[in-house]
Amino acid sequence: MSLNREKYLALVTLLEQLRSDATTTQIDALELRQRVASLQHFFRQQIVPIADENSQVQSYQTEMSKQLRLLEIDVMFLQGARQASTVQARLQTISDRLTTLIQYCDAIL
């Protein structure tokens, strides 16, 4: 197995764990924010440096970068949510975004 493939698989594992924790446990917004920051750090350190001449992979990486930034904004909105219905809506948006990121990784793999 190539090292690049292993890095994408590690990213998928992190994304799936975060999605699972965000949807099934009572994770607080601060912890979620810290985990998203850690996820972004992993992406910048391990995934971005992977040079690939395949333009489709580059496109996916660009989209993943954008989705990670949007995920950070979603978490900030979650922190500001006061009503239970708003919190649930924000958590669903976060889950959907994580699913999108997982699908991008699957497409690359």
Per-residue confidence (pLDDT) for residue 80, from 0 to 100? 92
Per-residue confidence (pLDDT) for residue 25, from 0 to 100? 74
All residue ranges of the chain with pLDDT < 50 are none
Per-residue confidence (pLDDT) for residue 3, from 0 to 100? 80
Per-residue confidence (pLDDT) for residue 52, from 0 to 100? 72
- Specify whether the CB–CB gap between 46 and 10 falls below 8 A: yes
CA-angle at 63, arms to 48 and 30, nearest 5°: 80
- Specify whether the CB–CB gap between 39 and 68 falls below 8 A: yes
- Specify whether the CB–CB gap between 95 and 22 falls below 8 A: yes
Per-residue confidence (pLDDT) for residue 50, from 0 to 100? 82
Per-residue confidence (pLDDT) for residue 55, from 0 to 100? 81
Per-residue confidence (pLDDT) for residue 24, from 0 to 100? 81
What six digits make up the tokens of 55? 């333009």
- Specify whether the CB–CB gap between 18 and 98 falls below 8 A: yes
